[in-house]
């Protein structure tokens, strides 16, 4: 084992293994390169966004133990840029190389039921919810939580995929059949006044730093804009940061954690979900913070001191989804706008092709 997880920093020149080849891995690899690290990406897709900027890429299945072994031997630490990796593969890697965050964090974060149980266990509120393993469970859960409510697959759901809204006239047998899963949760519908997220970094020595809470607007279940400062009260801001801090500590996190929350009509925060990696709602930090989320991620994973997450600008980040990418020339002509493209060739509907961050001087 190369690293027992003791608080020793990996020096620049070391190689960071990144599982997953999407835009989060791409931007993490760019940040790693800025600090003098090499990156080795592992993902099943060819021509992935991260592979364009990483020093090395292995294209292989997440279950391929031989390839995972070879990957572990070629890197100094392993992290991941998305959470739907088999836990067994991460445990396999953990036998020969430090994996940060740990397999336990992944196990909680990749299952909505585990995730909600985890937050509720810390006394942190979520929407009311029930485990659903069958159509009968769904009927019992709907009787308890009422309509509307939201049925979600426990695993592998993202951007609204794997979700069915249970309306007044929804047939529950049909909804269960349509979801096509063996494990789900039913959530009570939250009539929220807004959605927030907080991204926290936690280092090997337990030190943690939070970025400013962000105000997120979703369109058709996909993040559309993230705005800072968020239009919330100082007490709500403290509460959002406190939730993220307690979660990161309880997970013994090394890396980054994004916590998404609803602001309900009473002004209380309810956690929706978390992701133990850089997050779309943190892209604004590249252009508006002293240390951005990707550099902070690299620092945490490599055991370096965390950087200053202070925000020096106000910012609005807008995702460029599908055909939105055709606006790239206009965006380049806009003052105060920073364009970030992910190198994806095919602009499919709903696909995140890039983002733009508009900055303006920091409000007092």
The residues of the shown chain that bind ligand AMP, judged by CB under 6 A, are 127, 150, 157, 160, 187, 189-190, 195, 218, 221, 272-273
Torsion sign over Cα 240, 242, 244, 246: negative
**Which residue number, 75 or 138, has a Cβ lying nearer to ligand AMP?**
138
Choose between 93 and 108: whose C-beta lies nearer to ligand AMP.
108
Query: Of the candidates 19, 151, 30, 37, which has an alpha carbon nearest to the alpha carbon of residue 93?
Result: 19
Closer residue to ligand AMP, CB minimum distance, 138 or 204 = 138
Least Å from the CB of residue 159 to ligand AMP: 7
Residue with tokens 């995702």: 319
Q: Least distance in Å: CB of 22 to ligand AMP?
A: 17
Residue whose CB is less far from ligand AMP, 188 or 354: 188
**Omega before 242 within 30 of 0, i.e. cis:** no
Q: Side-chain half-sphere of 207: how many Cα atoms within 13 Å?
A: 14
Shortest Å, Cβ 310 to ligand AMP: 27
Least separation in angstroms between CB 200 and ligand AMP:
18
Strand order in the sheet with 184-188: 129-132, 184-188, 149-153, 163-166
In the structure encoding, which two tokens stand for residue 227, read together?
């705005």
We find the least distance from the C-beta atom of residue 125 to ligand AMP, in angstroms, to be 12
CB of 129 to ligand AMP, least distance (A): 8
Reported as type and span, the H/E element at residue 223 is strand 222-228
Q: Helix, strand, or coil here: 321?
A: strand
Nearest to 343 by CA among 17, 50, 24: 50
The closest of 271, 276, 279, 289 to 228, measured between CA atoms, is 289
d(CA 159, CA 47): 23
Q: In this structure, what token pair is assigned to residue 216?
A: 């997120």
Token output for 142: 């709907």
Ramachandran angles phi, psi of 142, nearest 5°: -65, -35
Min CB(150)–ligand AMP separation in Å: 4
Backbone φ and ψ for 290, nearest 5 degrees, come out as -60, -50
Nearer to ligand AMP, 26 or 152 (CB): 152
* Cβ closest to ligand AMP, residue 40 vs residue 112: 112
CB of 162 to ligand AMP, least distance (A): 8
Name which of 92 and 147 has its Cβ closer to ligand AMP: 147
Phi first, then psi, for residue 319 (nearest 5°) are -75, 145
Residue among 273 and 292 whose Cβ is closer to ligand AMP? 273
């Amino acid at each position: 084992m190369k690293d027992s997880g003791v608080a020793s920093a990996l020096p620049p020149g070391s190689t960071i293994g990144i599982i997953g080849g999407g835009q989060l891995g791409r931007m993490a690899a760019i940040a790693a390169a800025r600090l003098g690290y090499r990156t080795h990406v592992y993902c099943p897709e060819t021509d992935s966004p991260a592979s364009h900027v990483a020093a090395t890429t292995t294209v292989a299945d997440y279950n391929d133990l031989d390839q995972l072994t070879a990957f572990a031997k070629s890197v100094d630490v392993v992290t991941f840029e998305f959470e739907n990796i088999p836990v067994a593969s991460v445990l396999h890697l953990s036998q020969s190389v430090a994996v940060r965050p740990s397999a336990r964090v992944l196990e909680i974060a990749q299952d909505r039921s585990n995730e909600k149980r985890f937050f509720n266990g810390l006394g942190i509120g979520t929407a009311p919810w029930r485990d659903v393993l069958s159509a009968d469970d769904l009927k019992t859960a709907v009787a308890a939580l009422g309509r509307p409510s939201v049925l979600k697959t426990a695993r592998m759901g993202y951007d609204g995929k794997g979700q069915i809204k249970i309306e007044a006239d929804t047939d529950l047998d049909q909804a269960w059949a349509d979801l096509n899963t063996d494990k789900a949760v039913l959530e009570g519908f939250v009539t929220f006044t807004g959605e927030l997220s907080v991204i926290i970094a936690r280092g090997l020595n337990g030190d943690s730093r939070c970025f400013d809470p962000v105000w997120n607007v979703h369109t058709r279940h996909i993040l559309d804009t993230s705005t800072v400062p968020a239009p919330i009260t100082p007490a709500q801001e403290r509460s959002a940061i406190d939730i993220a801090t307690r979660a990161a500590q309880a997970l013994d996190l090394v890396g980054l954690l994004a916590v998404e929350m609803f602001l309900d009509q009473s002004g209380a925060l309810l956690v929706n979900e978390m992701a133990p990696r850089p997050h779309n709602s943190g892209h604004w930090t590249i252009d508006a913070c002293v240390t951005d989320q990707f550099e902070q991620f690299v620092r945490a994973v490599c055991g370096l001191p965390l950087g200053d997450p202070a925000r020096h600008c106000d910012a609005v980040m807008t995702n460029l989804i599908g055909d939105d990418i055709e606006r790239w020339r206009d965006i380049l002509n806009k003052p105060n706008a920073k364009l970030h493209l992910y190198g994806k060739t095919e602009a499919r509907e709903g696909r995140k092709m890039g983002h733009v961050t508009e900055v303006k001087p920091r409000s007092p």
